[in-house]
Amino acid sequence: MSREVIRLCKKEDPKAQQTLYESFSQRIFGLCFRYVKNEFEAEDLVISTFLKVFQHIKKFDYQSEKGLENWIRRIAVNESLMLLRKRNNFNLVPSDNAEDVNSDLSPVADLNSEDLYKLIASLPEGYRTVFNLYIIEGYSHKEIAVQLEISESTSKSQLSKAKAALRRMIDKNNLAYGT
């Protein structure tokens, strides 16, 4: 992604906007789908994400492509969370027993990328949201607590349960390890 494309996007050039969209839309769709587990909703989220990107790109200070991607991903995450919040408030059950399950992720990490993606997408919504935010997006529990309006301990507990659920699913489906 060249600096020139961003400059033109700031001038609302349609071609530059399309170039930017084509560069990131697939990844953003994958991200959104991981959160909402629905193709149509994920597509809607891609659209709303890029609308926001185009609206606010004038304020964005382009340093590197990685920085740009992180910015767009963050917008996409926020859009996804907003949709989930509207839908059912994440289906999170407050809990303090964060360390009550085995949180070993080794078998999960050994899955191939497609299986891993599908497995995460098949998690219950509350677990999936916290897992996505913590493991994939790299949010801290504190940030998750703020985003989802839950306590940190609830976030930790949801993550532990998500990991346990992943392990159970691996065992149940006898998924092959290895990339």
Binding site for other proteins (CB under 8 A): 12, 14, 17-18, 21-22, 25-27, 29-31, 33-34, 39, 42-43, 46-47, 50-51, 54-55, 103, 105-106, 108-109, 111-114, 116-117, 120, 134-136, 138, 179
Cβ 39 to other proteins, closest distance in Å?
7
Nearest to other proteins of 93, 176 (CB atom): 176
| 3-state class (DSSP) for residue 99 | coil
Nearest to other proteins of 79, 88 (CB atom): 79
Contact present, 111 and 119 (Cβ < 8 Å): yes
Contact present, 173 and 154 (Cβ < 8 Å): no
Nearest residue to 144 via CA among 162, 163, 125, 131: 131
Cβ 154 to other proteins, closest distance in Å?
19
Nearest to other proteins of 136, 153 (CB atom): 136
Nearest to other proteins of 30, 71 (CB atom): 30
Give CA–CA dist 170/109, Å, rounded: 11
Contact present, 8 and 15 (Cβ < 8 Å): yes
Cβ 54 to other proteins, closest distance in Å?
6
Nearest residue to 177 via CA among 120, 106, 110: 110
Cβ 105 to other proteins, closest distance in Å?
4
- Tokens representing 2 are 């060249």
